[in-house]
Amino acid sequence: MRPAGALPFLQCLSTLSHVRTVAAVRRYFQMSGSAPTCTVSQRKSIYVEALSHHVAHLTERERTLLDRLYGGLTGGHRASLAESITLVETQHPRKKELAQVLLQRVLAFRREQERLNGGKPVAFRVGLSGPPGAGKSSFIEVLGKTLTGKEHRVSVLAVDPSSCTTGGSLLGDKTRMPELSRDMKAFVRPSPSLGTLGGVTRTTSEAIVLCEGAGYDIIMVETVGVGQSEFAVADMVDVFVLLIPPAGGDELQGIKRGIIEKADLVLVTKSDGDLVVPARRIQSEYTSALKLLRKKSNRWRPKVLRVSSQTGQGIQELWDVMLQFRDGALLSGDLQARRQEQQKVWLWNLIQEHALSHFREHPAVRTGLAEMERGVAQGDISPGLAADLLLRAYRSP
């Protein structure tokens, strides 16, 4: 098994240029090729070697900055965590490299904690999605407060696709979590308002690692059911929860079928006052709908529960169900397997993103792309032939 540290390591490759690192990288791949003879500790030493070249090029100021962030973060200081997340969110090339060095150190720290924890993950990652206004932030606030009351340390991260395109926010999370934001055992981080959705989801994954390194044992990621963000979030958490409000006539509409399939739990929100009756109806609709869907796991049947953030009804029961889910998944190894699979998906997402932008930026491709697109759209040339031609231009030196 390749350690989780391989991911930031591979991210480093794209930014490293000097010869000695390239040599280390080659050795890494040669060793991986001869996998049976390559021990885990040999591989680890290669990561360390590649990274140390990176570190060797740090200026004194950069080194001091990273030491300060690492020390503060692993010491559980919120300000250091916030600053570290800002570092992973940066678009600045050099700072991006520094962020990778920091992440690699935090990953090593977290792995050590997992080892001390009997190989089990040190934090539980909860993804929450649903249409705007479903009551996600209100719910996170109430659940978060319940958990900090039980001595958990809770962090809340947001992925907001609208903030990427318009700079506006559909989540409006900070303002809706006034109590949790003030709670010393909680850390609430709004979504960055710049960048692409791909970039934001990547930095959210990295922010999860940082929060775990800072000692938060419950990580909640909030997103809206708009664009593809909920699929990205489902791929970075241990349990994925869909929140549905009890309003409107055609409730099942507007919620993508694919995302219902991804849900481990469905929560019907606002089950209080006049809304209890429609909430019950929606609960039974979803319970039947889920029965028709393909089973995601043999060990877990998705459940539909009703909650109210206003009265607190159902919150404790929901948390008990989440713990049942977590404990079962830990015992069977499903949780660890899911995380390993997510790491691989993530690796391929990054490769696709980089490879595609490399392709698009190739001079010959840039010259021919618009013409090919026009030709394909008008039916003058088949998409297959156009792709062949562009790829040939890309491959030619």
Q: Per CB under 6 A, does 52 bind ligand GDP? A: no
Other Cβ atoms closer than 10 A to 76: 14
Binding positions for Mg ion, 148-177, rule CB under 5 A: 171, 173
Nearer Cβ to ligand GDP (105/306): 306
Binding positions for ligand GDP, 174-233, rule CB under 6 A: 176
Other Cβ atoms closer than 10 A to 208: 19
Query: Residue 54: what residue type?
Result: H
Task: Tell me which long-range contacts 359-364 makes (C-beta under 8 A, separation of at least 24).
Answer: 359/394, 362/393, 362/394, 364/393, 364/394, 364/396
Among the candidate windows 12-20, 133-141, 145-153, 330-338, which touches ligand GDP by CB under 6 A?
Answer: 133-141
Binding positions for ligand GDP, 348-387, rule CB under 6 A: none
- Position among 203, 270, 386, 390 found at the interface with ligand GDP (CB under 6 A): 270
E-assigned strand segments in 235-357: 239-244, 265-268, 303-306
- Position among 5, 8, 127, 135 found at the interface with ligand GDP (CB under 6 A): 135
Determine the Cα–Cα distance for residues 256 and 265; give it in Å rounded to an integer: 15
| Phi, psi (rounded to 5 degrees) for 171 | -85, -40
The item of ligand GDP, Mg ion, none sharing an interface with residue 215, based on CB under 5 to 8 Å by kind, is: none
Q: Per CB under 6 A, does 306 bind ligand GDP? A: no
Task: Answer for the pair 83, 69: CB distance below 8 angstroms, yes or no.
Answer: yes
The secondary element (H helix, E strand) that includes residue 156 is strand 154-159
| Token pair in block for residue 81 | 């965590």
The item of Mg ion, ligand GDP, none sharing an interface with residue 147, based on CB under 5 to 8 Å by kind, is: none
Nearer Cβ to ligand GDP (97/173): 173
| Phi, psi (rounded to 5 degrees) for 158 | -125, 140
Closest CA to 32 of 12, 14, 9: 9
Nearer Cβ to ligand GDP (133/248): 133
Q: Per CB under 6 A, does 132 bind ligand GDP? A: yes
- Position among 148, 229, 269, 283 found at the interface with ligand GDP (CB under 6 A): 269
Binding site for ligand GDP (CB under 6 A): 130, 132-138, 171, 176, 269-270, 272, 275, 308-310
